[in-house]
Amino acid sequence: MSYAIQAEGLVKRFGSTTALAGVDLAARTGSILGVLGPNGAGKTTAVRVLATLIKPDEGRARVGGFDTIRDAHKVRELIGLTGQYASVDEELTGLENLILLGRLLELSRKDARQRARDLLERFGLTDAAGRPASTYSGGMRRRLDLAASLVGRPTVLYLDEPTTGLDPHARAEVWDVIRGLVADGVTVLLTTQYLDEADQLTNEIAVIDHGRVVANGTPAQLKAKAGAQRLEIRPALASDLPAVARLMTELAGVAPTEGADPGLLGVPVHDPAVMTAAVRRLEDARIVVRELALRLPSLDEVFLALTGHRAEPIGAGNEPTGPRNGPAGPPSPADETAATEGRLA
């Protein structure tokens, strides 16, 4: 099995801040590795090390078999990088931007133009090719940015939060583009704060928090790590909640929690047979349910289980330089537990 990216024990300090505290990463050739973590986790720092933009204080990384320090120039020939912020020139048209990049990469005038046209076509930007980039929507800008990182035909591509700040429609468009890249055999390292994005796009995920990898595996493995499966029951009548909670406690050995969705009780279970037992017990007690499910935990629950806190909510002040969005965040785990206990006591 060959690895396009291999990093071992990366440490990077900025003054008194330790951005990376010993990070190992590995991406199989032709796969998408997700680096998932909240703001400030160290994602961009890891990308900058792997892109040869900064040197680690400790540890080493190889990209396409080349050392990022000793063979930095070789690594640069292989990689493409799309940053969190669009890197295109606002005043130039989409076409001009891509031709310029091609010329910088020493393509002939003709080849640069052809490459630009091909990429615009592929990213659905042909109609907008002659318009200044300043007139593009957020999703179009991000697609142009992706196209720009592909001018040099990289075999390894770093996408640093490619959908942060995009609306759901534009995110879906960018996801399609990313899936297309991998179909071409490009190895992608994608950083994200979005659990659903990692779940949708990646083959493997490294969850990082405070400069450390706190977990890694396939999306399914990570979900399994956070506590096998969850039994969820929503009684039809709110007045049945205490009885259902008691019943679930007896079946699972721990008390259920109500979580963010009121009226839906959930508890981790390790034996799928509890499902049938639950159905029988509910029937015996003549409790009608609206929802009854056995499912893998969501990545959000995985993150909470692994790090002790939730990842940033989507769209809530994710831009490092932007203002924090108001006080309305998700309840902290402590609040949630208290609320649940209050209701079920």
Ligand X SMILES: Nc1ncnc2c1ncn2[C@@H]1O[C@H](COP(=O)(O)OP(=O)(O)O)[C@@H](O)[C@H]1O
User: Which residues are at the interface with ligand X (CB under 6 A)?
Assistant: 14, 17, 19, 37, 39-45
Q: Confirm if 208 and 191 have CB atoms less than 8 A apart.
A: no
Toward ligand X, which CB reaches closer, 44 or 97? 44
Kindly state whether residue 44 participates in binding Mg ion, applying the rule CB under 5 A: yes
Beta carbon of residue 45, minimum distance to ligand X (angstroms, whole number):
3
Among 40-48, 124-132, 218-226, 310-318, which window interacts with Mg ion (CB under 5 A)? 40-48
Output 81 or 112, the one with its CB closest to Mg ion. Answer: 81
Residue 41 binding result from ligand X, Mg ion, none, given CB thresholds of 5 to 8 Å by partner type: ligand X
Cβ proximity to ligand X, 296 vs 304, nearer residue = 304
- Cβ neighbours of residue 121 under 8 Å, at least 6 residues apart? none
| φ, ψ (nearest 5 deg) of residue 110 | -65, -45
Nearest residue (CB) to ligand X, 93 versus 193: 193
From ligand X, Mg ion, none, which one binds at residue 80 (CB under 5 to 8 Å depending on kind)? none
Residue 205 phi/psi, 5-degree rounding, is -130, 135
Candidate ranges 36-44, 135-143, 226-234, 271-279; the one touching Mg ion (CB under 5 A): 36-44
DSSP 64-81: TTEETTTTHHHHHHHEEE
Question: In sequence order, what are the beta bridge partners of 17?
Answer: 14
Considering beta carbons, is residue 40 or 330 the nearer one to ligand X?
A: 40
| CA 226 – CA 185 distance, rounded (Å) | 31
Residues, the chain: 345
For the bound state, the minimum distance from the C-beta of residue 99 to ligand X, rounded and expressed in Å, comes to 31
The answer to whether the beta carbons of residues 157 and 181 sit under 8 Å apart is yes
Residue 17: which of Mg ion, ligand X, none does it interact with, CB under 5 to 8 A by kind? ligand X
For the record, the structure tokens of 342 come out as 């209050």
Dihedral sign for Cα atoms in the order 311, 315, 318, 323: negative
Nearer to ligand X, 45 or 307 (CB): 45
Burial track 272-285 (b if 16+ CB lie within 10 A, e otherwise): eebeeebeebbeee
Smallest distance from the beta carbon of 14 to ligand X, in angstroms?
3
39 vs 155, beta carbon nearer Mg ion: 39
Q: How far is the CB of 152 from Mg ion (least distance, A)?
A: 23
CB 160, min distance to Mg ion, A: 6
Does 45 help bind Mg ion (rule: CB under 5 A)?
A: no
CA distances from 91 to 5, 126, 128, 135 (A): 35, 17, 14, 9
Residue with tokens 């490092």: 320
162 binds, among ligand X, Mg ion, none (CB under 5 to 8 A by kind): none
Show the tokens assigned to 252: 């699972």
Give the residue with the Cβ less far from ligand X, 163 or 229.
163
Q: Does 164 bind Mg ion (CB under 5 A)?
A: no
- Report, in Å, the least distance between residue 108 CB and ligand X: 37
R_g (Cα) of the chain, nearest Å: 24
Number of CB atoms found within 10 A of residue 61's CB? 24
Assign 18 to helix, strand or coil.
Answer: strand
Query: How near is the Cβ of 32 to ligand X at its closest, in Å?
Result: 18
Task: Please tell me the distance from the alpha carbon of residue 134 to that of residue 92, in angstroms, as a whole number.
Answer: 8
Q: How far is the CB of 145 from ligand X (least distance, A)?
A: 17
Q: Applying CB under 5 A, which residues contact Mg ion?
A: 43-44
